[in-house]
Amino acid sequence: MLDPKFLRNNLDVVAVQLARRGFTLDTGKLTDLEAERKVLQARTQELQAERKSKSKEIGLAKKNGQDVSEILSAVAKFGDELKAAEIRLKELQDETHALLMMIPNIPHESTPDGKDEDENVELRRWGDIPSFDFAVKDHVDLGAELGDGWNGKGGLMDFENAARLSGARFSILKGPLARMHRALIQFMLNTHTEEHGYSENYVPYLVRPDALRGTGQLPKFKEDLFAIEADEEAIEADKQLHLIPTAEVPVTNMVRESILDEAELPLRLTAHTPCFRSEAGAYGKDVRGLIRQHQFEKVELVQIVKPQDSLSALDELLGHAEKILQLLNLPYRVVALCTGDIGFSASKTFDLEVWVPAQETYREISSCSNFGDFQARRMLARWRNKATGKPELVHTINGSGLAVGRTLVAIIENYQQADGSIRVPEVLIPYMGGMEVIR
């Protein structure tokens, strides 16, 4: 959420900044709401102050054994007006808040302008794109042909069977492929906790709407989430559980409604979780196979930092994600997302895109964003500034380190051999019980 105070005092400036990302701010609506709110709030508070002082008078008078009937009737006179004012004020505040919750973050000044992903800016490339002296296959074909005879049928990557259980966009991994998937998770977590200073967390996969509002998935992106069936009462009480679309939600919300000591910062948190997304995007070659699933695994990196540190922390976190690709020797590039492509809550985002040989292109494998105080304000996550003695909003940063399924895709395709077998990346061999090739 944007700072409501800043917003109403700089409506036109904010509108211009939001226009950079293609969002049209309804300034007229906000102005109208604000005008009515201001008058009403002043009046309401005036009446409340009146009631408060009168009530104190009554208390004193009673104690002194004086007659209070005169004061009582004075209070009764404006009771109805006060009640009506309070109700209307609440309505106005709720309406304004609902509007505010639908407004995306302001892009950071360093975020390049652009209307969509075509205008993202490539910053650098790493690694050598492998050349093959045979026709490369994609991971779907490779996976289906691997493990001949393994448990009878279906290859090591089986979408047909998964579809029978769960429908489209689910997958089954078997044998050494399932193990490599698990190996990747261990490898990523070990690297981040042992080399990059993150603390490991195990977190809930089901969360309440408040947590999702905190990080920005709600209220605007309800259709992308899987919700658990709940009765009217639970929904009314705002307790309906949702499957997490990313570990960002439970991990970032670990600091919600708290005031952190300055000495505790920065917090570097990591967690491996499954992620569930119901997004019903178009099918096509570029989302074939394991690329876009309703259920996938991810190792997430989150940092909670002081505002002045967030830009450098984003660079640092990006480096931590890059390190995984480097250790796996997977070629990738770093892309700065333009204003038209950054997510709702983000002010600045770098994507890591890994080389996918079968598509002869780079595909997103990690998205690292600085949210500024946007999520912190929604969560009421603060730190105590020693200089001022006051609580101030933290800044939040997160990124995938990495998406496990897509990393598996990248390994399968980049490490494929002419006979359809897959070499195991050097760093994963210990995690694979010494296995060097998957056949």
Partner RNA sequence: GGAGAGGUGGCCGAGUGGUCGAAGGCGCACGCCUGGAAAGUGUGUAAACCGUAAGGUUUCGAGGGUUCGAAUCCCUCCCUCUUCGCCA
Q: Which residues bind RNA (CB under 7 A)?
A: 4-5, 8, 38, 41-42, 44-46, 48-49, 51-56, 58-60, 62-63, 72, 75-76, 79, 237, 239, 259, 380, 382, 386, 389-391
Query: At 153, phi and psi to the nearest 5?
Result: -160, 165
Sign of CA dihedral 152, 156, 160, 163: positive
Distance (Å, rounded) from C-alpha 82 to C-alpha 77? 10
Smallest distance, RNA to C-beta of residue 86, A = 9
DSSP string, 243-295: E-SSTHHHHHGGGTTEEE-GGGPSEEEEEEEEEE----PPP-GGGTGGGS-SE
Nearer to RNA (CB atom), residue 51 or residue 220: 51
Q: Are the beta carbons of 302 and 425 closer than 8 angstroms?
A: no
Catalytic sites, residue numbers: 277, 292, 364, 367, 406
Q: C-beta of 72: minimal distance to RNA in Å?
A: 5
Those residues with Cβ within 8 angstroms of residue 168's Cβ, 6 or more apart along the chain or in another chain: none
Distance CA 420, CA 401 (A): 28
Measured from the CB atom, is 45 or 361 closer to RNA?
45
Tokens describing residue 322? 């890059």
Nearer to RNA, 29 or 390 (CB): 390
Q: Give min distance, CB of 390 to RNA, in A.
A: 6
63 or 124, CB closer to RNA?
63
Neighbour-count burial of 433, counting CB atoms closer than 10 A to its CB (0-12 exposed, 13-18 middle, 19+ buried)? exposed
Q: What is the DSSP string of 390-423?
A: SEEE-EEEEEEEEEHHHHHHHHHHHTB-TTS-EE
**Nearest CB to RNA, comparing residues 164 and 239:** 239
Cβ at position 415, least distance to RNA in Å: 36
